[in-house]
Amino acid sequence: MVDFIRLGQYLQSGGHKDVEKHSQIEKAVAEIIEASVSNFEIANASLLLNKYVLISPVRYRIGSRSEEFKDTKHPYLSGATKNRYIQRSFTEVQKRLNSTTSTIISSLESQGYKNLLDSIFRTSSRLIVGLGAAHALETSITLHHTYGIPYIPGSSFKGAVRAVAFWRIVEKWKESFGEDDFIAHITEELSEYKGKSRLEKLQDAFNGSPIWSEKKPKILEELPEEAQKLVARYQLLFGVAGFKGLLTFLDVYPKLEGDAKVLEMDVMTPHYAKYYQKPSENPPADWYNPTPIPFLTVKPGVPFRVVVLYDEWRAGLLQSDEAIKPYAGLMKNLDEARKDVESLIEDAFTDLGIGAKTRLGYGRFRDA
């Protein structure tokens, strides 16, 4: 892939004998790698980044010393963002995926589902999903295995929306307290909860124990009535251990306009690498060299199609379930459910963020 003939000609020109030209050689290597990757005839970003990736650093010689140009990752990723074959494929692939999504919607609607939400959200900041996944280049990005296009898995989408739902329950609980008293109350570690706080125990119960079960967790009984209704509503919608939720979240794919650029380079720069590696031996001091780590993101301004469906047929069956009957009224009004879900999704996309590094402002969206 890399034009080693050109690199060899450069080194044989005599410049390699001058140690002062070390940085020039590194720059030449970077330019060769970036140009090669940019022009590599492959139309699938997943193959390029996961199968054809450069693992070993490029070696060259300066005088009598063998050197390694270690920063092959930056030019490699930079070249990937400029690869015109991949860029073209993104536009073609997303058309097929949007068609597939529409087919899935039609199929589910024929089985008793209602299309609760089908909207476009546009990234307002950089988006990175799957940054911490195992990868030869240390950092990763979630790409569709077959089509190579960046996307948000339905499970990640659902998880972010569910997190917003949980904090709405906490907010409803807080209304019966003064703010300072409430924080002390929910963060107190209790022996009856095996050292967990009330907040941690509520999160465990929300994810793992239906409020309508015979053995309802004690923490749920502590909640005011309105907060308990929210728990029931969101457990019915999102599901809980042993119960499938009424909402179905489809994978979120880009809906591109023309040959719009999708991928963009970014760099994180940890300043305390040695401290992170061995904190017992190295203090978090300012004398360490920073370590730039390049990674790929989805650029701001990319539109994504967001689809959520509601299992109306099954919701009707649950009306006769004796355990769930007390909460049946929470599922009757489809328009109310739609407004609730739309509000949760909007908060998840605009405030909470999707994917990695959301505390630093990544993964934010706005209405298209």
What is the rounded distance in angstroms from the CA atom of residue 113 to the CA atom of residue 214?
Answer: 29
Q: What is the mean pLDDT of residues 2-16?
A: 53
What is the rounded distance in angstroms from the CA atom of residue 142 to the CA atom of residue 130?
Answer: 5
Q: Are residues 78 and 155 in the same domain?
A: no
Statement: residue 50 has pLDDT above 90: no
Q: Are residues 26 and 145 in the same domain?
A: no
Q: Are residues 215 and 125 in the same domain?
A: yes
Q: Are residues 119 and 161 in the same domain?
A: yes
- Express each pLDDT in 108-167 by its tens digit: 999 999 999 999 999 999 999 999 888 888 889 999 988 899 999 999 999 999 999 999
pLDDT in the model for residue 363: 93
Assign 247 to helix, strand or coil.
strand
Q: Which domain holds residue 25?
A: 1-82
Q: Are residues 37 and 120 in the same domain?
A: no
Least-confidence region, from 10-14, 71-75, 94-98: 10-14
Q: Are residues 65 and 130 in the same domain?
A: no
276: β partners: none
| More reliable by pLDDT, 180 or 288 | 288
Minimal CA–CA distance to 238: which of 211, 219, 265? 211
Q: Are residues 249 and 339 in the same domain?
A: yes
> pTM, whole model, 2 decimals?
0.86
pLDDT in the model for residue 184: 85
Q: Are residues 160 and 211 in the same domain?
A: yes
Q: What is the mean pLDDT of residues 2-6?
A: 52
Q: Are residues 125 and 64 in the same domain?
A: no
48: β partners: none
**Run of H or E residues at 294:** strand 293-298
Could you tell me which residues come within 8 angstroms of residue 212 by beta carbon, excluding any fewer than 6 positions away? Answer: 232, 323, 324, 326, 327
Q: Are residues 208 and 339 in the same domain?
A: yes
Statement: residue 1 has pLDDT above 50: no
Q: Are residues 240 and 310 in the same domain?
A: yes
The answer to whether the Cα torsion of 131, 46, 346, 340 is positive or negative is negative
pLDDT in the model for residue 84: 87
Statement: residue 195 has pLDDT above 90: no
The total number of structural domains that make up the chain: 2
Q: What is the mean pLDDT of residues 41-63?
A: 75
What is the rounded distance in angstroms from the CA atom of residue 258 to the CA atom of residue 336?
Answer: 37
- Express each pLDDT in 333-344 by its tens digit: 677 788 889 999
Q: What are phi and psi of 295, to 5 degrees?
A: -155, 160
Q: Are residues 35 and 160 in the same domain?
A: no
- Express each pLDDT in 359-368 by its tens digit: 999 999 998 7
